[in-house]
Amino acid sequence: MQTIESQILFLSPIILSIASIVLFLLFLQKAIKTKQKMFYYLTILFFLHIISRVFQIGQYTVNVQNRAELSFILTQMFHILLLYTLVLILEFYSQNLLFSGKETIISVLVFLVIGGMISSPNLESELVDGRYIVNFAALSPVLFFQIVFYIVASIWTSYLLYTNRKAAHMNRQKILIILLFFGMILTIFIPTIPNVITEIFGRPPGRSLILTLLVMLIIENTGILIIGIAFYWASKNPWLLQQQRVYLLVVYSHDGVELYSKTFTEKISKDDVLLLSGGFTAIGNLFKEATDAEGGIKAILLEDKELRIINKKYFFSALLCDYSTQATKEAHQQFSEEFESTFKPYLKQFSGEVSVFRKADSIVDNLFY
């Protein structure tokens, strides 16, 4: 007769998969509708999570040892790919790069773990309550590399989120980062603990093993669901989907008159904005002479910064940032269009009075926060 723990262990992947399927469909819908890269990556993340749970259900369903072991290996492989995808998503969130080269060690560990699972997994199987419970044997190279992967991934993602937390200015951005951090801890770091214990002392007895697997299953799934829910909460404001590093937004007439400026950091003073006037004026004249097209977006790289410029009929706006994200581009484009439509009468017959353009603060507050 099966124990309650064994029955819960079998049913938990089924129940938890329902939430993953819902998030998968929600992110897929948003990806198709908005074309945001982040939604595509999150769709892949939860697809891998669903596949991992399907094989886990198969592991606890079959009563043949070799099939249970095959299901276990497939579960672990897709779980590693899931965590690797999560690391890449957090990298994309932080730096707008899916792979920056800094994750090379993590990538090598992923290939070592998956390669070991395919070639020589070194498994231990035990029949408990009519189900085969499969795990990696103590001192298994695969388990060792898996532990190293968990530790390195935890350290790297913690560093990314910590630096993002320090750079964040918006309360909603800070809340999102905190949620992502707790989700990462539950998904990547805490599952390392039982693996370390198994590596050193060997696997626990059958009933204790079932209880351990059940607790880790719930913790891991809770973590990944926290991450999914956090990103879905942020999806209502595309500005939150990635860490934005914006410093300055200015609007100049083609004659070089500053119409409006907004600084997003205390590092840039009003005097700094005035010093930039000459450079922006020269750039504006360049656009005016080189092209007759309106609305064309150009980007100029300034060492580790990027200057984005949108040229309109009566003005041009420039946005200084670390790097452009999809949200940055859309916010800048929409700001330029709303600025033009709101102040078109004043722009068309500009007399030198710029105080009226201060009302553009409401546009900035709506788009950049």
Q: Give CA 212 to chain center in angstroms.
A: 29
What pTM value is reported for the model?
0.78
List all residues 6 or more positions away from 20 whose beta carbon is below 8 Å from its beta carbon: 46, 49, 50, 53, 221, 224, 225, 228
Token digits for 54?
A: 């399907």
Query: pLDDT grade, residue 47 (50/70/90)?
Result: very high
Pairwise pLDDT comparison (75 vs 9), residue with the higher score: 75
Q: Where in the chain is the domain with CATH 3.30.450.70?
A: 246-367
Q: What DSSP character marks residue 73?
A: H
Question: What's the length of the chain?
Answer: 369
Conformational region of residue 242, where left means phi above 0, alpha means psi within -120 to 50, and beta covers everything else: beta
Contact assessment for residue 196 and residue 98, using Cβ atoms and an 8 Å cutoff:
no
Indicate if the alpha-carbon torsion angle 286, 290, 294, 300 is positive or negative.
negative
Q: What is the CATH number assigned to the segment(s) 4-240?
A: 1.20.1070.10
- In angstroms, rounded to a whole number, what is the distance separating the alpha carbons of residues 344 and 167? 35
Percent of the chain with pLDDT over 90: 18
Q: Where in the chain is the domain with CATH 1.20.1070.10?
A: 4-240
Task: Render pLDDT for 110-152 as a digit per residue (tens, 0 to 9).
Answer: 999 999 888 888 888 877 767 777 878 777 888 888 888 988 8
Nearest to 309 by CA among 247, 369, 249: 249
Supply the pLDDT for residue 114: 92
Q: What is the CATH number assigned to the segment(s) 246-367?
A: 3.30.450.70
Distances from the Cα of 141 to the Cαs of 119, 148, 188, 280, 354, in angstroms? Answer: 11, 11, 19, 59, 69
- Share the mean pLDDT of the chain: 81
Nearest to 188 by CA among 82, 48, 341, 49: 82
Rounded to an integer, the average pLDDT of 81-98 is 83
42-51, 74-83, 201-210: least confidently modelled range = 201-210
